[in-house]
Amino acid sequence: EDKVVQSPLSLVVHEGDTVTLNCSYEVTNFRSLLWYKQEKKAPTFLFMLTSSGIEKKSGRLSSILDKKELSSILNITATQTGDSAIYLCAVGTNSGAGSYQLTFGKGTKLSVIP
């Protein structure tokens, strides 16, 4: 059974701090790793990673995949209260039918306090 584990489960930081969220996985037929941000509504897409060692950046957020360690990290620098959300990691795999599916971790709840 495919497994995706995120840590920590929750995190409280002050505005301006830098945070690192972790995601590790055990899956068959790995294809990609995705990060999502979920506030009080539906998840919104942040990054998709397929190649090991290549960092993806978007403003204060960045992420990198380590296929050897079967893990990924999501960094957020100079955190703001608007970064408060649940961050979900998902791993895409090739299914037997030639299509793909995503297995989600339980998420990391980030709270940024002023």
Partner 1 sequence: DAGVIQSPRHEVTEMGQEVTLRCKPISGHDYLFWYRQTMMRGLELLIYFNNNVPIDDSGMPEDRFSAKMPNASFSTLKIQPSEPRDSAVYFCASSFWESETQYFGPGTRLLVL
Residues that bind partner 1 (CB under 8 A): 31-32, 34, 41-45, 48, 88, 92, 95, 97, 99-107
- Residue 44 CB, shortest distance to partner 1, in Å, is 7
Choice between 79 and 86, CB closer to partner 1: 86
- Residue 96 CB, shortest distance to partner 1, in Å, is 8
- Residue 18 CB, shortest distance to partner 1, in Å, is 26
Q: Give the angle subtended at the CA of 76 by the CAs of 73 and 78, to the nearest 5°.
A: 155
Choice between 17 and 109, CB closer to partner 1: 109
DSSP 5-60: EEE-SEEEEETT--EEEEEEEE-SSEEEEEEEEESSSS-EEEEEE-STT--EEETT
- Residue 60 CB, shortest distance to partner 1, in Å, is 21
Choice between 100 and 113, CB closer to partner 1: 100
Confirm if 85 and 79 have CB atoms less than 8 A apart: no
Confirm if 65 and 89 have CB atoms less than 8 A apart: no
